[in-house]
Amino acid sequence: MNQNLADELVTMMTEDQRLLQQLFDSGELPSESYHPRMKALHEHNASRLKAIIDGHGWPGISLVGEEAAKAAWLVAQHSVSDLEFMAECAFLLENAVAKKDVAGWQLAFLQDRLRTLSGKPQYYGTQFDVDENGWPTPFPIEGAAAVNERRERLGLNSLEERLEQMTEQERKRRANIEPTS
């Protein structure tokens, strides 16, 4: 295992999540536009991941361990300024999933993110919007009748279970911010 590379990837993920939380805590997120500090960090991390891929191929579990492989996925997932790079990462993840070198859910999330950003229906039902009342609702799904079979193949729970989890998270969030009488 390449420990230096693993540490670098985990640091990128930690910084991403730290900045995200900081922007939420300060009230700067959510916002209608891509926050410039978040965009800059995502683009910096994507550039570094490109160099890592050029030198080592996809950083899967065999190269960097499970946590750093997840970190590489997160960097790819947040590379929304470069859909071509996201597509390249999705292709590399397909091969890594086939070799059992990354978790299947990573491929599902990245492919769905790429499809929704490209204006196409998602395939695995991992990407959600909110309805007019602020409740989670999945973006359109191609072949929705078979979505749970596809989700199961990649280790995900059913779409109905995921929707219930997200709805419950939103209920708890609302309970924490709404004043009690």
Q: What is the mean pLDDT of the chain?
A: 94
Tell me: the pLDDT tens digits for 149-159? 999 999 999 99
Going through the chain in order, the beta strands assigned E by DSSP cover 128-130, 136-138
Tell me: the pLDDT tens digits for 98-150? 999 999 999 999 999 999 999 999 999 999 998 999 899 999 999 999 999 99
Cα dihedral across residues 62, 68, 73, 76: positive or negative: negative
Give the predicted TM-score (pTM) of the model.
Answer: 0.90
pLDDT at 180: 56
- In 3D, which of 154, 142, 143, 145 has the Cα closest to residue 118? 142
pLDDT at 178: 63
Answer whether residue 179 shows pLDDT above 70: no
DSSP structure class, residue 141: B
Tell me: the pLDDT tens digits for 5-56? 999 999 999 999 999 999 989 989 888 889 999 999 999 999 999 999 999 9
Percentage of the chain surpassing pLDDT 90?
87
In the structure encoding, which two tokens stand for residue 85, read together? 């790079």
Answer whether residue 181 shows pLDDT above 90: no
